[in-house]
Structure 1
Amino acid sequence: MSVRSKTRKPMPTSPFSPSSTAQTLISTMARKSSVLKQTLASFVVVIFVIYALFNTFFHPTDSSKLDSTFSFNSVNSASVVLNELYRESSSNLSGKFTTPVKIYLYDLPRRFTYGVIEHHSFARGGHPVADLSKLKYPGHQHMAEWYLYSDLIRPENERVGSPVVRVLDPEEADLFYVPVFSSLSLIVNPIRPAVESEKPVYSDEEMQEAMMEWLQEQEFWKRNNGRDHVIIAQDPNALYRVIDRIKNSVLLVSDFGRVRSDQASLVKDIILPYSHRINTYTGDIGIENRKTLLFFMGNRYRKEGGKIRDLLFQILEAEDDIIIKHGAQSRESRRAASHGMHTSKFCLNPAGDTPSACRLFDSIVSLCVPVIISDSIELPFEDVIDYRKIAIFVESSVAVKPGYLVSVLRALTPERILEYQKELKEVKHYFQYEEPDGTVNEIWRQVSQKLPLIKLMINREKRLVRKELTEPDCSCICSNKTGINMLS
Structure 2
Amino acid sequence: MASLKFTSLAFLVCWFSFLSVIVCTFGVDVSYDGRAIKIDGKRKVLLSGSIHYPRSAAEMWPDLIRKSKEGGLDAIETYVFWNAHEPVRRQYDFSGNNDLVRFIKTIQDEGLYAVLRIGPYNEMKNFTALIVNMMKQENLFASQGGPIILAQIENEYGHFVASYGDAGKAYVTWCANMAESLDIGVPWIMCEEEDAPESMINTCNGWYCDQWSPKNPKIPKMWTENWTGWFKNWGGKDPHRTAEDLAFAVARFFQRGGTFQNYYMYHGGTNFGRTAGGPYITTTYDYDAPLDEYGNLNQPKWGHLKQLHDILHSMEETLTHGNISSIDYGNSVWATIYKTKNASSCFFGNANSTSDATINFQGNDYDVPAWSVNTQTSVMAKRSNFVEDESTLLKWSWRPENNDKAIVLGKGQVTANQLLDQKTAANDASDYLWYMTSVNLKEDDPVWASNMTLRVNGTGHKSVNLTKGKNVITLLSATVGYQNYGVKFDMVQSGISGPVELVGRNGDETIIKDLSSHKWSYKVGLDGLPNDMYSSENLNWQGNDLPINRMMTWYKTTFKAPLGKDPVVVDLQGLGKGMAWVNGKSIGRYWPSYLAEEDGCKVEACDYRGSYDNNKCLGGNPSQVKFETVSVGYACANTYENNVLELSCQNRPISAIKFASFGNPKGRCGSFEKGTCEGANDALSIVQKACVGKETCTIDVSEKVFGLTNCGKITKRLAVEISTPSSITTAFPFTISTLFLAFSLLSILSLSFFFLSSSSSTIKNPSFPDPQNALQAPPHSPLKVYVADLPRSLNYGLLEQYWSSSTPDARIPSDPDHPIPLVARRPAASEFPDYPQNPLIKQYSAEYWITGDLMTPEPLKTSSFAQRVSDSGDADVVFVPFFATLSAEMELAKGGGSFRRKVGNDDYRRQREVVDFVTNSDAWRRSGGKDHVFVLTDPVAMWHVRAEIAPAILLVVDFGGWYRLDSKTSRGNSSDKIEHTQVSLLKDVIVPYTHLLPRLHLSENKKRQSLLYFKGAKHRHRGGMIREKLWDLLVNEPGVIMEEGFPNATGREQSIRGMRTSEFCLHPAGDTPTSCRLFDAVQSLCIPVVVSDNIELPFEGMVDYTEFSVFVAVNDALKPGWLVDHLRRISGKQRDEFRQKMAKVQQIFVYDSGHPGGIGPIPPDGAVNYIWRKIHQKVPMIREAIVREKRKPPGVSIPLRCQCT
TM value normalised by structure 1 = 0.75
Q: 1:78, 1:428 → 2: CA distance?
A: 30
Q: 2:230, 2:951 → 1: CA distance?
A: 46
Out of 247-256 and 427-436, give the one that drifted further: 427-436
Q: C-alpha displacement at 1:432, in angstroms?
A: 1.1
> Which of 887, 890, 896 is the equivalent residue of 1:185?
887
Give yes or no for the alignment of 1:312 onto 2:1030. Answer: yes
Q: 1:135, 1:86 → 2: CA distance?
A: 29
Report if aligned partners of 1:285, 1:418 keep a CA contact under 8 Å in 2: no
Report if aligned partners of 1:149, 1:179 keep a CA contact under 8 Å in 2: yes
Q: 2:894, 2:1096 → 1: CA distance?
A: 33
Report if aligned partners of 1:327, 1:333 keep a CA contact under 8 Å in 2: yes
Residues 338, 276 of structure 1: alpha-carbon distance in 2 compared, 3 angstrom cutoff: same
Deviation by residue 1:183-228 (Cα, 9 ceiling, x = unmatched): 11121146468xxxxxx97622222112111111212111111111
Q: 1:328, 1:234 → 2: CA distance?
A: 18
Matches for 1:453-472 after TM superposition, within 5 Å: 453-468=1181-1196, 471=1197
Which residue does the alignment assign to 1:349?
1067
Residues 80, 339 of structure 1: alpha-carbon distance in 2 compared, 3 angstrom cutoff: farther
- AA partner of residue 267 (structure 1): L
Report if aligned partners of 2:783, 2:1172 keep a CA contact under 8 Å in 1: no
- AA partner of residue 393 (structure 1): F
Report if aligned partners of 1:146, 1:181 keep a CA contact under 8 Å in 2: yes
- AA partner of residue 983 (structure 2): A
Matches for 1:110-149 after TM superposition, within 5 Å: 110-121=792-803, 122=805, 124=807, 133-139=831-837, 140-149=842-851
Structure with greater proportional strand content:
2
> Which of 277, 281, 285 is the equivalent residue of 2:1000?
281
Deviation by residue 1:150-179 (Cα, 9 ceiling, x = unmatched): 111112222223222011233322211001
Matches for 1:26-425 after TM superposition, within 5 Å: 52-53=231-232, 69-70=264-265, 72=268, 83-84=612-613, 86-87=615-616, 98-121=780-803, 122=805, 124=807, 133-139=831-837, 140-189=842-891, 191=893, 203-257=906-960, 258=962, 259-284=978-1003, 289-351=1007-1069, 354-425=1072-1143
> Which of 441, 449, 457 is the equivalent residue of 2:1177?
449
Residues 79, 279 of structure 1: alpha-carbon distance in 2 compared, 3 angstrom cutoff: farther
Deviation by residue 1:394-418 (Cα, 9 ceiling, x = unmatched): 1122212210111101111101111
Residues 431, 56 of structure 1: alpha-carbon distance in 2 compared, 3 angstrom cutoff: closer
Task: Indicate the RMSD between aligned Cα atoms, in angstroms.
Answer: 3.5
Whose RCO is larger (CA < 8 A, sep 6+)? 1
Deviation by residue 1:43-101 (Cα, 9 ceiling, x = unmatched): xxxxxx9994258979xxxxxxxx98326478799999994464558xxxx99x94212
Q: 1:386, 1:477 → 2: CA distance?
A: 28
Q: C-alpha displacement at 1:128, in angstroms?
A: 11
Deviation by residue 1:254-301 (Cα, 9 ceiling, x = unmatched): 000032221011111100000000111124386x52111000111111
Q: 1:105, 1:238 → 2: CA distance?
A: 19
Structure with greater proportional helix content:
1
Residues 336, 389 of structure 1: alpha-carbon distance in 2 compared, 3 angstrom cutoff: same
- AA partner of residue 266 (structure 1): L
Q: 1:362, 1:292 → 2: CA distance?
A: 17
Residues 395, 99 of structure 1: alpha-carbon distance in 2 compared, 3 angstrom cutoff: same
Q: 1:169, 1:78 → 2: CA distance?
A: 36
Report if aligned partners of 1:105, 1:166 keep a CA contact under 8 Å in 2: yes
Which residue does the alignment assign to 2:763?
none
Q: 2:891, 2:953 → 1: CA distance?
A: 28
Deviation by residue 1:356-381 (Cα, 9 ceiling, x = unmatched): 13200111111110000122210111
Q: 1:303, 1:101 → 2: CA distance?
A: 37
Report if aligned partners of 1:305, 1:355 keep a CA contact under 8 Å in 2: no
Aligned to 1:116, the other structure's residue is in SS state: helix
Residues 149, 251 of structure 1: alpha-carbon distance in 2 compared, 3 angstrom cutoff: same
Residues 396, 229 of structure 1: alpha-carbon distance in 2 compared, 3 angstrom cutoff: same
Report if aligned partners of 1:188, 1:202 keep a CA contact under 8 Å in 2: no
Aligned to 2:1025, the other structure's residue is in SS state: helix
Unaligned runs of 5+ in 1: 1-48, 59-66, 194-199, 480-488
Q: 1:368, 1:158 → 2: CA distance?
A: 35
Kindly tell me the number of residue pairs found equivalent between the two proteins: 408
Q: 1:264, 1:192 → 2: CA distance?
A: 29
- AA partner of residue 782 (structure 2): P
Unaligned runs of 5+ in 2: 1-227, 238-261, 272-276, 290-610, 619-713, 716-778, 808-821, 896-902, 963-977, 1154-1162
Q: C-alpha displacement at 1:336, in angstroms?
A: 1.1
Q: What percentage of aligned pairs have identical amino acids?
A: 34
Q: 1:453, 1:80 → 2: CA distance?
A: 37
Residues 349, 181 of structure 1: alpha-carbon distance in 2 compared, 3 angstrom cutoff: same
Aligned to 1:397, the other structure's residue is in SS state: helix
Report if aligned partners of 1:390, 1:421 keep a CA contact under 8 Å in 2: yes
Residues 68, 235 of structure 1: alpha-carbon distance in 2 compared, 3 angstrom cutoff: farther
- AA partner of residue 448 (structure 1): H
Q: 2:1012, 2:789 → 1: CA distance?
A: 47
Q: 1:373, 1:56 → 2: CA distance?
A: 36
Q: 1:80, 1:172 → 2: CA distance?
A: 31
- AA partner of residue 1116 (structure 2): V
- AA partner of residue 241 (structure 1): H
Q: 1:313, 1:56 → 2: CA distance?
A: 43
Q: 1:361, 1:54 → 2: CA distance?
A: 27
Report if aligned partners of 1:227, 1:250 keep a CA contact under 8 Å in 2: yes
Residues 145, 362 of structure 1: alpha-carbon distance in 2 compared, 3 angstrom cutoff: same
Out of 296-305 and 402-411, give the one that drifted further: 296-305
Greater Cα radius of gyration, structure 1 or 2: 2
Report if aligned partners of 1:123, 1:189 keep a CA contact under 8 Å in 2: no
- AA partner of residue 271 (structure 1): I
Out of 140-149 and 130-139, give the one that drifted further: 130-139
- AA partner of residue 1025 (structure 2): K
Out of 339-348 and 121-130, give the one that drifted further: 121-130
Q: 1:364, 1:130 → 2: CA distance?
A: 32
Out of 135-144 and 363-372, give the one that drifted further: 135-144
